[in-house]
Amino acid sequence: QVDLVESGGGLVQTGGSLRLSCAPSGFTYTTFAMGWFRQGPGKEREYVGGISWSGDNTYYSDSVRGRFTISRENGKNTVYLQMDSLKPGDTAVYYCAASQYGPSNTIFTGRGYDYFGQGTQVTVSS
C-alpha cells in the first residue's frame, strides 16, 4: 500500500514562512516524480509544482514561482515545500503527490500523478 503523509501545516501571518514535508511509505519513492497541489476554500484543486526523481528539475505554477521551493532528500525519503512570503490567497489544504506511472513531463503539466496524501491545512492571516 502506498501512503503519502504530509506535515508542517498551520497558521501563519502574511509575509511569513512555512515548510511542508511529505514522507512516502510503502514504496521506494526515489524514482518517482513528486509534486504538490492545493485546494483553497471554494476553489478547484490547483497544481503548485513538482520535482523530478533526481531533483534536477523543478516546476512551479505562476502563482507561487519565486516564493515557493520544492526539494527532496532521497536519503530521508522526504519531499519538502518551502513557502515564503505567504499571502492570504495561499490559504488552502496542501496535498503531496507521487508519480509512478506518469509520463516524463508530469512535473511540468501536473498530470500523471498516481498517489495523493490526505492533505495538511495552511492558513495565512491578513
55-65 per-position pLDDT tens digit: 999 999 999 99
Cα separation, 45 vs 87, in Å, equals 18
Q: Quote the pLDDT of residue 24.
A: 84
Q: Do the bridges between strand 33-39 and strand 46-51 make them parallel or antiparallel, or are there none, so unpaired?
A: antiparallel
pLDDT band at 20 (very low <50, low <70, confident <90, very high): very high
Q: What is the pLDDT of residues 67-112, one digit of tens each?
A: 999 999 988 889 999 999 999 999 999 999 999 888 989 999 999 9
Joined together, the cell numbers standing for residue 31 give: 524514482
- Which 8-state DSSP code applies to residue 106? H
Binning pLDDT at 50, 70 and 90, where does residue 30 land?
A: confident
- Give me the sheet containing 18-25, strands edge to edge: 3-7, 18-25, 78-83, 68-73
